[in-house]
Chain A
Amino acid sequence: MRKTTPSQDFIRGIWNENPVLIQMLGLCPALAVTNSVKNALAMSAATFFVICCSSVLVSSCKRFIPNEVRISAYILVIATFVTLADMILQAYAPIQHKELGAFIALIVVNCMILGRQEAFSAKNNVFRSLLDAVGTGIGFTIALVMMGGFREILGTGSFLEYSLFGPNFEPWVVMVLPAGGFLTLGFILLAMGYFEQRKKAEKTS
């Protein structure tokens, strides 16, 4: 593996290897709960908590985890923290907990978290694993809030429940429905592909 500086560990997850937009991991929550910015924020906060805690625990215990059962061990660690997050949300934000429903429990099967444990925390020290987890968590948050923003603004004409366009705005209901999730992510990827292509064309010319 190529050596990276701590700041690269941190930045990488945010943009260059953004978990949702580039690596296409964790799509399930990214599409399911982004029908409003508020839900997207609650979901990202829970995921952020889980990924940071599990990265720290996995990287500090890596010596005691036998190689053959490492995946199961990671899953167990993640499941423990998801249970914690579930209970904390239920206690302090019962309304959000109800809105997100089963999707909090589904953080366990978010490939992004398991992927970071396997690819990074299992090989690096605690500090750098934490940096990597924070970076990935922020990247996940950016992607979710971006999608939530698009969908809420177009779908209901408001942002964080503040009306933006006044009463005459005809909401695009489809954006807050499931189909809108697929379409939004599809168009974001198309836009990113377009800019990528233009950048390449500029370099060659």
Chain B
Amino acid sequence: MSDQTLFSIFFSAMVVNNFTLAMFLGLCPFMGVSARVETALRMGLANIFVLVLTSLSAWFLNTFILESFPFLRIISFIIVVASLVQIVEMVVKKLSPTLFRQLGIYLPLMTTNCAIFGLAIFQTNRGYGFLQGIVFAIGAGLGLTLALVLMASIRESIEFSDVPGLAKGTGLVLIIAGTLSLAFMGFAGML
């Protein structure tokens, strides 16, 4: 059991060790759905939801089942994540078909979203308890949302500026991400 306080876990996951900008997790949606602020925000919220559910299930698996079979960890986590994403996909499709269309391929791709699987692995490696896990998940989710929304707003305003044709596309997005990541490094001394 880790003895970090809840606040430091939350703050570290959200800002200091931001999942996207400091640990490179969840880069596919970061590149893919960060063209519009609104979509980015919704993607972030869907992510928070899945992350919290994953954290709960990972904690449950770790405490009650995987105690005696640690070698099954990777396999059982990926199954849990895959089925969770499937459920979320069905719920979103039912409740908000518009959102479902906007997120497109990136919703089922959440299965192979490193952020979600990574959360389960990191939580296990650091020995977080029930409450710590949930706080970690919320922090990480908010961090992802923050990164997505920041990126989307930068990209929206860049559309109106005169970018050389060579730099348009992924190269530019990556360099902006690098700059954002530099900015986030400023928080490193806080914890």
- B71, B170, B181: the one contacting A24 at CB < 8 Å is B170
Please, which residue of chain B has its CB at the minimum distance from the CB of A174? B182
> Does A178 contact B22, Cβ atoms closer than 8 Å?
yes
> Does A193 contact B24, Cβ atoms closer than 8 Å?
no
- Hey, which chain A residues are within 8 Å of B182, CB to CB? 174, 179
Interface size range on A against B: 35 or more
- A28, A76, A108, A186: the one contacting B24 at CB < 8 Å is A28
> Does A75 contact B23, Cβ atoms closer than 8 Å?
no
* Minimum distance in angstroms from B22 CB to a CB of chain A: 5
Q: Decide: A183 near B175, CB < 8 A? Known: A24-B170, A190-B166.
A: yes
**A38-46, A98-106, A138-146: which lies at the interface:** A98-106
Chain A residues 112-128 with CB under 8 Å of chain B are: 114
B109 in the interface (beta carbon within 8 A): yes
The interface residues of chain A, by DSSP majority, are classed as helix
**B4-12, B40-48, B87-95, B114-122: which lies at the interface:** B114-122
> Does B114 contact A187, Cβ atoms closer than 8 Å?
no
A165 in the interface (beta carbon within 8 A): no
Binding site for A on B (CB under 8 A): 21-28, 31, 71-75, 78-79, 82, 109, 111-114, 117-118, 121-122, 125, 165-167, 169-175, 177-179, 181-182, 185
Binding site for B on A (CB under 8 A): 24, 27-28, 31-32, 71-72, 75-76, 79-80, 82-83, 86-87, 101-102, 105-106, 108-111, 114, 174, 177-183, 185-187, 189-190, 193-194, 197
